[in-house]
Amino acid sequence: MARNRSWREIFIKILEERPDESEYQYAAELIEGGYAKGSVLPSTLRGGPRYLHLVWKGPTLEGREYCDDLKEAVRRRSLSFRIWSAVVVISSWLAGVLTDVIISRLTGP
């Protein structure tokens, strides 16, 4: 069973690879935002944004930088990053406490 991807993960996939037909709406947003080169032929049918044809030429320099920023945002939102951050904070605090205890034992009462 496939999990639902966030818009960030979809944008990363599109910028690193190519958009599937199901991702044309996201690819069109990237093209219109200047993060990718290409052209879009929107549908005139009612019922939401549909795209009849999309020409994908690849990401621009801004698109590559945006992809890197999105990867960093996804990484920072991950559970493993949050756990690691907590471990670093707790370890730093413990090191400070232990340093204070050791110094007070060495210098005497």
pLDDT in tens, 77-103: 877 777 887 888 888 998 888 888 888
Instruction: Count helices and strands (H / E) in the chain.
Output: 4, 2
pTM of the model: 0.66
Distances, alpha carbon 53 to alpha carbons 30, 44, 78, 102, in Å? 15, 12, 35, 70
Per-residue pLDDT at 57 exceeds 60 = yes
**Mean pLDDT rounded to a whole number for the chain:** 86
Phi, psi of 58, rounded to the nearest 5 degrees: 115, 170
Q: How confident is the model at residue 3 (pLDDT cuts 50, 70, 90)?
A: low
Does residue 43 share a domain with residue 72?
yes
Range of the domain at 100: 80-109
Does residue 60 share a domain with residue 20?
yes
* Six token digits for residue 76: 């920072």
The CATH number of the domain holding residue 58 is 1.10.10
Question: What's the CA gap between 25 and 46, in Å, rounded?
Answer: 15
Does residue 87 share a domain with residue 48?
no
